[in-house]
Homo-oligomer: A and B are copies of this chain.
Amino acid sequence: MNPDLAWAVWSGERQRRIEGVLERALPPDTAPPLALHRAMRYAVLGGGKRVRPLLAYAAGELAGAAPDVVDAAAAAVELIHAYSLVHDDLPCMDDDSLRRGKPTCHVAFGEATALLAGDTLQALAFETLARGALRDVGAAVAVLAAAAGAEGMAGGQAIDLDAVGASLDLPALETMHRMKTGALIRAAVSLGAACGAPLAAGEQQALQAYAAAAGLAFQVVDDVLDVEGSATTLGKTAGKDAARGKPTFVSLLGLAAAKERAESLRVEAHAALAGFGGRGRRLAELADWIVLRRH
């Protein structure tokens, strides 16, 4: 099979798979409290690129884990991601009205229900991970919680809020993004790998180097697309970061240099996988996909 087609088949299969896993993990929209359950499902199902679950499945495959063993970890990282989007979109945060081509959760369900939907999706992430088939559930929960919390994703969001109208330099911007989006992407890779056979310390370091590069590349490309894309292709409001005076890789580096940075991070991600040979194939393809995507 030609490599592009093989990748399309693999990623399409995993995207359909995680949709089913998430669907079964979520509470039914026929049981009370109805509005809350519906808001949870609305925020999670039927949208999103599922980058984090794909990273978990690919890292699991590298470590020899079958998809069904990775399901819980893949769903858990996506549930954390989904909760963070619901809360980030709230009026007191980014105040966004469009997400994945649909009205944001609080526009559709009201602020109080959206707040609770985010809260319950976070709890569901930990419940799903805890009920999974990982060797060391305690370590896995600690990894996910640290990635989601004050030293990870939510801490990065706090720095991001403080940075509106401020002049972050490039190292500060990178630190913020390594927390805000990078921490959960690194967790997706390490939790996926933890579903398989134990890796040597050097292999774990290589995987983390891959995840760090891929995670930062993801954010650089997001900033590029925010300038180049439209709401139609992005499914969310375009140009919003610039309009808010938020520092971005494009505002600090310029558009051409930001694209070069994304490309060099893609090369860095590939290099980190060199020692894995064919086992790193899906992760390498994922790095390509992250950098070359149009939305």
Contacts and interface: CB of A to CB of B under 8 A. Distances in A.
Interface of A: 27, 32-33, 35-37, 40, 83, 87, 90, 92-93, 110-113, 115-116, 118-120, 122-124, 126-127, 129-131, 137-139, 141-142, 144-146, 148-151, 154-155, 157-159, 161-162
Contact of A154 (B36, B137, B141, B150): B36
- Give chain A's interface secondary structure class: helix
A93 B127 CA distance: 25
A158 B127 contact: no
B119 A154 contact: yes
A142 B148 CA distance: 17
Contact of A162 (B35, B37, B119, B148): B35
Given A123-B148, A137-B141, A142-B131, A36 B116 contact: no
Nearest to A129: B141
Contact of A36 (B27, B123, B142, B155): B155
A145 B127 contact: yes
B158 A27 contact: no
A133 B161 CA distance: 36
